[in-house]
Amino acid sequence: MIRPPLNPLLRKEGKIKKKMKIKKIKKILIANRGEIAVRVIRACREMEIKTVAVFSDADRAALHVRRADEAYHIGPNTPSESYLNVQKIIDVAKKSGADAIHPGYGFLSENADFAEEINKAGLIFIGPDPKVIRTMGSKIEARKIAQKAGVPIVPGIERPLQDVKEALKVAKEIGFPVLLKAAAGGGGKGMRAVHKEEELKSAFEMAQSEAIKSFKDGAIYIEKYVEGPHHIEVQIFGDTQGNVIHFFERECSIQRRHQKVIEDHRVSYTIEHQDH
């Protein structure tokens, strides 16, 4: 398996006082399904790591079940009773003798409690530290971190809005159009663009209602709405030894309802830094 060379310029600053003991992973449980699980299984096979699949009633004959070295049934079709059932997944990991759990994406991949329970069970969670997941799961906290790091952010606030009255006050300060956003979650849920004052009240109510239904958290904040932007992301990967690398830029501007449809690694748009 070809691995990108580590860029020494991207290493964590400062000396690492104590290196964590690295446990060799021999078997991984994939807490996901379909193509996501198949990709992880393929990578594990290249690295000579055994794989464990889990499946619901609907996925008994699925490709990921047939490709894995072992497969275990974890419940009925309803995700809450199968792929979102933390205890069942951890029980299967222990039963199968897996060293680690790979969440894939979606389902429990951004659930800090899941990562925490895996660690408590003496297993390895292949993903960020639970504290990082919890912190970055809040867009408000993410804005604060970006500010502290000196990263430019669009005008807005770093606290939940109290009500429509406060939303209007802030909107007038930063100027329309504005974007109301759920502090929790993602996927375009709980987001409403507001172009004029008359739209604000209904947009606030809809965004908050959707946020509660989707994330059980009605916290909403506001920021300047950037029309027709290029949405560029840089994916970053770090290990437990303080090494950090990036996987270059990705063009994510093709979206539907604020949700990415395509990610393209060929970014044709570049930004020239200018000092004003």
Q: Residue 101 is part of a domain; what is its CATH number?
A: 3.40.50.20
Asked if 73 contacts 92 with a C-beta cutoff of 8 angstroms, the reply is no
Higher-pLDDT residue of 21, 177: 177
Listing DSSP states for 1-52 in one string gives ---PPP-GGGSPSS--SSPPPPPPP-EEEE---HHHHHHHHHHHHHTT-EEE
Domain tally for the chain? Answer: 2
Average pLDDT over residues 241-265: 84
**pLDDT recorded at residue 271:** 58
Residue 273 counted as domain residue: no
Average pLDDT over residues 191-200: 95
Higher-pLDDT residue of 127, 260: 127
Higher-pLDDT residue of 265, 22: 265
Verify that 158 and 127 share a domain, yes or no: no
Verify that 117 and 218 share a domain, yes or no: no
Q: By CB neighbour count within 10 A (0-12 exposed, 13-18 middle, 19+ buried), where does 1 fall?
A: exposed
Looking at every residue in the chain, the average pLDDT score rounds to 87
Average pLDDT over residues 111-129: 95
Average pLDDT over residues 91-116: 94
**pLDDT recorded at residue 276:** 46
Helix/strand/coil for 156: strand
**pLDDT recorded at residue 12:** 44
Asked whether residue 6 carries a pLDDT value surpassing 50, the answer given is no
**pLDDT recorded at residue 20:** 58
Compute the distance between CA of residue 37 and CA of residue 76 in angstroms, rounded to an integer. Answer: 18
Grade residue 13 by pLDDT with cuts at 50, 70 and 90: very low
**pLDDT, tens digit, for every residue of 32-58?**
999 999 999 999 999 999 999 999 999
Instruction: Return the closest-CA partner of residue 190 out of 262, 136, 128, 138.
Output: 138
Among 9-18, 74-83, 184-193, 244-253, the minimum mean pLDDT is found in 9-18
Verify that 97 and 162 share a domain, yes or no: no
Q: Which residues face 180 on adjacent strands?
A: 192, 222
List the domain range (segments joined by +) for residue 119.
Answer: 22-134
Instruction: Quote the pTM value.
Output: 0.73
Q: Residue 200 is part of a domain; what is its CATH number?
A: 3.30.1490.20
**pLDDT recorded at residue 137:** 83
Give me the phi and psi of 247, to 5 degrees please.
-110, 35
Q: By CB neighbour count within 10 A (0-12 exposed, 13-18 middle, 19+ buried), where does 125 fall?
A: buried
